[in-house]
Structure 1
């Protein structure tokens, strides 16, 4: 079976984003850093050994460190160019963790798991790396992300060529993420979703930002035929027609799924029946510490 993502191109895109001399376009990473640090802050315990898993610039690991909940934080990344001075750096591909079994009690993955071909396998590796009663926190782009751009590019290509190829990567549904947590053996799995709307003058600065974030199309099944200027001009027209506000600016949706799961431990409460939980992640984390 062909892999969904061309991992060599994924890595090229990520390195181009981190290596740009321009101001980084990291607003999504900042949002994830704020949310994840707030959610960690409500857990009334300390995590002596933690790992940030493929977190790009380390922005999230630094935000989590400021909570005072972490002793030692290692950063797992694909290339030393992602490291900052003073980092405890471990090199590994996106789908591999260089962590011994039961070696950490906190694992955090910010905005990278959506680019893995074997996401269930990565969840299992994280679960194995956690000590009993260790915590896994992650932020993963969800299914509504870039729904407007997906629609516009599809319609433009159908209109101009009579066919279509994948232009925007598939993003996971929140129910699928919850199922992955359970399948990997995590206890007390909780997921919730936050949706953010970013406005742009047109499709062109949106696509420039996506490129700067390393989010250019890395799909193995992508068309290799270059798109023309006429294609993008028509896509810009359709975007403005379908997804613009009264002031003429267009909307772009970014959805982030936040999740938590605990490595099983005998002290934990019995989990609810799958699909029956209806609480926010922050509330669940608070409940976890009050027993």
Structure 2
């Protein structure tokens, strides 16, 4: 395939930006649930995502360095907590990585592992006998994050690693997580952010514009970093915390990246997706990816932006902000005392 005309490439990029912005805006169309503003739009085909999860149950590898790094980073947050979490729920996403890397963190005694996929639940159950923490009582449930089958105030910890970004109503799912927690219970989640697979988005859009004369949604709209704190607050969590990490994973080519996404269950599940990807468009995507982003060693990078969210269910013992007007020292006093030292 020849090089793209720069004018045509800029035209394609501007169309991609407009299309992507439209997808993201549609992801935050709002309604009202439990007193909180939440999404009412059906963006993802949850039944199709369940089928993808069935496939991922048998394709996923225990040596996936990206998944393991995210799970390890998420679980590290339990080491910063002085309290223990006897009863925990692990939701969808990278279930086996969380279970395998738990290593006694959080003082978890009972762990519920839940997924929409029967095959994923079976795979987790089969792997349980090889897990290092045999003293953790583990149970397995088939359930949906959008309709959490858990009693109110029954859990000490809810943890989700790379799963919640596939829910149609992310604020609503987080509200259900909060309701399932006991007072002073902890919510931990890692979701993919809006900068994820930015290289693939550009290459795929350019290939479609060149080969098909238009674009169709191939990659999912994802939450932006600036929205994460608002999501926690809207869901009613106290002491919200947000961290962001970017992971760059190298692949031999774009097709190997697609295979990795399939193994993670992270391929396209948009309701308005185009189920047919023409062979020439796929080959053009791989060629453009290599041309625009390829490294000197022949590999191509893929960016994964991961947003880590932490929130607590309200409890009287938690630290609270002072009420407005309760300060005993004014900014003018501080300036008078220290300002002259810098003049």
- Distance between the aligned counterparts of 1:262 and 1:176, measured in 2? 18
TM-superposition CA deviations, 1:165-205 (whole Å, max 9, x none): 11111111122121110001000101010001011121111
- Distance between the aligned counterparts of 1:181 and 1:55, measured in 2? 19
Larger radius of gyration: 2
Stretches of structure 1 lacking an aligned partner (at least 5 in a row)? 274-291
- Distance between the aligned counterparts of 1:28 and 1:99, measured in 2? 30
TM-superposition CA deviations, 1:26-85 (whole Å, max 9, x none): 433311221122111121111111111124443203423522521221112222324315
Give TM-score, length-normalised by structure 1.
0.87
Q: What pairs with 1:127-142 in structure 2 (closer than 5 Å)?
A: 127-142=178-193
Q: Does 1:247 align with 2:287?
A: no
Give TM-score, length-normalised by structure 2.
0.74
Q: Does 1:210 align with 2:248?
A: no
Report which of the two has the higher share of helix. Answer: 2
How many residues are aligned here?
A: 271
Q: Which runs of 4+ in 1 moved over 4 A?
A: 22-25
TM-superposition CA deviations, 1:135-161 (whole Å, max 9, x none): 111111111111100111011111122
2:93–2:164 Cα contact (<8 Å) kept: no
Q: 1:37 to 1:272 in 2, by over 3 A?
A: farther
Stretches of structure 2 lacking an aligned partner (at least 5 in a row)? 1-39, 129-137, 324-343
How far has the Cα of 1:227 moved from its partner?
2.1
- Distance between the aligned counterparts of 2:100 and 2:152, measured in 1? 24
Task: Decide which of 226, 231, 235 is 2:285's aligned counterpart.
Answer: 235
Task: Decide which of 306, 311, 325 is 1:256's aligned counterpart.
Answer: 306
1:18–1:24 Cα contact (<8 Å) kept: no
Corresponding residue number in structure 2 for 1:163: 214
Q: What pairs with 1:55-94 in structure 2 (closer than 5 Å)?
A: 55-67=93-105, 69-78=107-116, 79=118, 80-85=121-126, 87-94=138-145
Corresponding residue number in structure 1 for 2:243: 192
Task: Decide which of 33, 37, 44 is 1:5's aligned counterpart.
Answer: 44
Corresponding residue number in structure 2 for 1:280: none
